[in-house]
Amino acid sequence: MTCLAFDIDGTLFDCGDIIIEAFQKGIALFMKNAVTAIEMPSKDKIISVLGIPTDLIFEQLFPDLNAHDQLKINDLCVNALADMIHHGGGSLYEHVYSTLERLHNEGYSMYSASNGKIKYIQSILESNGLINFFKKPVIVLNSKIKTKSEIIRYYKTNLSINDLMIMIGDRSSDRQAAEENNIPFIGCAFGHAGFRELDCVRWIASDFSKIYNIVKEIEKEYNIKRH
Give 18-47 pLDDT, tens digit per residue: 999 999 999 999 999 877 788 899 988 888
Reported as a pLDDT band with limits 50, 70 and 90, residue 226 is low
Reported as a pLDDT band with limits 50, 70 and 90, residue 167 is very high
- pLDDT of 221 reads 92
CATH (one of 3.60.15.10, 3.40.50.1000, 3.40.50.300, 3.90.340.10) for 2-14+91-221 = 3.40.50.1000
Average pLDDT over residues 46-71: 86
DSSP letter assigned to residue 3: E
- Measured distance CA(82)–CA(98) in Å, rounded: 23
Q: Which long-range contacts (CB under 8 A, 24 or more apart) does 207-213 make?
A: 207/94, 207/95, 208/12, 208/93, 208/94, 208/95, 208/96, 208/99, 209/94, 209/95, 209/98, 209/99, 211/99, 211/168, 211/186, 212/99, 212/102, 212/103
- Measured distance CA(199)–CA(215) in Å, rounded: 20
Using one digit for the tens of pLDDT, what is the confidence trace for 85-136?
A: 999 999 999 999 999 999 999 999 999 999 888 999 999 999 999 999 999 8
Q: State the chain's mean pLDDT as an integer.
A: 91
Task: Pick the closest to residue 62 from 43, 80, 45 (CA basis).
Answer: 45
Share of the chain above pLDDT 70, in %: 97
- pLDDT of 227 reads 54
Average pLDDT over residues 168-197: 89
Name the least confident of 3-7, 12-16, 153-157, 197-201: 197-201
Can you give the residue ranges of every domain in the chain?
A: 2-14+91-221, 19-86
Reported as a pLDDT band with limits 50, 70 and 90, residue 196 is confident
